[in-house]
Amino acid sequence: MGVGRFAPSPTGDAHPGTLLAGLLVWLDAKSRGDTVLLRLEDLDTTRAQGSHVDAILDAVGALGLRFDTVHTQSLDKARHHLALDNLAAAGLLYPCACSRSRVKALGRKAPDGGFAYDNVCRGRPLPEGGWRACGENVRARLPDEALRLYDESGLDLSQTPAAAMGDPIVLRRDGVVAYQLAVVVDDAAQGVTRVVRGRDIAPSTATQVMLQRLLGLPTPVYRHHFLLLEPRGDKLAKLHGSVGWRELSRKYDGAKLCGWLAHVAGLTQAPTPTTPDALVDAFDWSRVRGDDVTVRWNGHALEP
Ligand code: GLU
């Protein structure tokens, strides 16, 4: 039996885009008879808040998404630290003195919309005392190899991550273990076999697969789904700014939101209230739309 996971970061209110991911992860797992866990990715202590955790738990409960287990990532720091020890023992960690502005000034766009790092600090040694004693960001040296990689939907994720993105930060200078490392360590420790997530994270997959190889961890099956976008200025951004569950729940109960999400995803003919349980039997990825959809919150309703 496989294991799926929904891994939201409680760094803001629970947004429709986050809840869409939760619904698709849950339907993917339950339609296959897999177990599905909720992992609260709360390592970024500068942004994660208990009130956002409460909003996520409240929203998934209202939607009718029942998870087999709930994990709080910050309780698992010992295993992230062990992974850092293993990378250090293999001589793969180095301190990086480069500021964000230096990396930005290099001007090389990365596939995730950020800027690629040029690995210039490779070769700098960790201080005596190792990564624990390092007051700078710590990066992991990836092999300079190309990965040919497609996700289950056929999305081409091929990349030479060491060049396209640059070696990833695995430990921030403030001591927070970085997402790219924590996610691969926890997916493996929790036996995750299927990673279903939004397409915005797709460009990180090659980096994560390289880290899995360095740590001797298995690679799960990946599938990336469409995004809900909102107009922001003259651009489209991930639907994260305008409305969260606290405001939404004044107009939408869980069944109404579930019905709206299922309809936007292409799973139902009309946005009539429903439950995840009612959607499981007919769920099939071939029925889920492929293209992103722009959504507006008009203060009363979500308008696709
Ligand atoms: N915590 C990440 C986020 O909320 C998702 C991680 C993942 O699915 O790999 O964007």
Nearest CA to ligand 1 atom 6: 7
| Tokens describing residue 133 | 């004693």
Ligand 1 lining (C-beta closer than 6 Å):
7-9, 41, 183, 197, 201
State the Cα–Cα distance between residues 177 and 165, nearest whole angstrom. Answer: 18
Q: What CATH code would you report for 3-73+190-215+217-303?
A: 3.40.50.620
Taking only the tens place, the pLDDT of each residue in 186-198 is 999 999 999 999 9
- Ligand 1 atom, smallest distance to 8 CA: 4
Taking only the tens place, the pLDDT of each residue in 252-276 is 999 999 999 999 999 999 999 999 9
Domain extents for the chain?
3-73+190-215+217-303, 78-182
Q: What is the mean pLDDT of the chain?
A: 95
* CA-atom Rg of the chain in angstroms: 20
- What is the fold of 78-182? Rossmann fold (3.40.50)
Taking only the tens place, the pLDDT of each residue in 76-118 is 999 999 999 999 999 999 999 999 999 999 999 999 999 999 9
- 78-182: same fold as 3-73+190-215+217-303? yes
- What are 264-272's contacts with CB under 8 Å, separation 24+? 264/20, 264/228, 264/289, 264/293, 264/295, 264/304, 265/20, 265/23, 265/24, 265/226, 265/289
Task: Report the residue among 3, 9, 37 best suited for mutation to probe ligand 1: largest number of ligand atoms under 8 A from its CB.
Answer: 9
- Ligand 1 atom, smallest distance to 21 CA: 8
Model pLDDT, residue 239: 62
Model pLDDT, residue 141: 98
pLDDT at 233 over 90: no
Q: What's the predicted TM-score (pTM) here?
A: 0.96
- How remote is the CA of residue 197 from the centroid of ligand 1, in Å? 7
Model pLDDT, residue 235: 60
Mean pLDDT of the region 69-74: 97
State the Cα–Cα distance between residues 274 and 23, nearest whole angstrom. Answer: 12
Q: Please give the biggest Cα pair distance in the chain.
A: 63
Which residues lie across from 70 on neighbouring strands? 38
pLDDT at 234 over 80: no
Shortest CA distance to 11 belongs to which of 71, 75, 77, 55? 55
Mean pLDDT of the region 8-24: 92
Taking only the tens place, the pLDDT of each residue in 32-67 is 999 999 999 999 988 878 888 999 999 999 999 999
- How remote is the CA of residue 205 from the centroid of ligand 1, in Å? 11
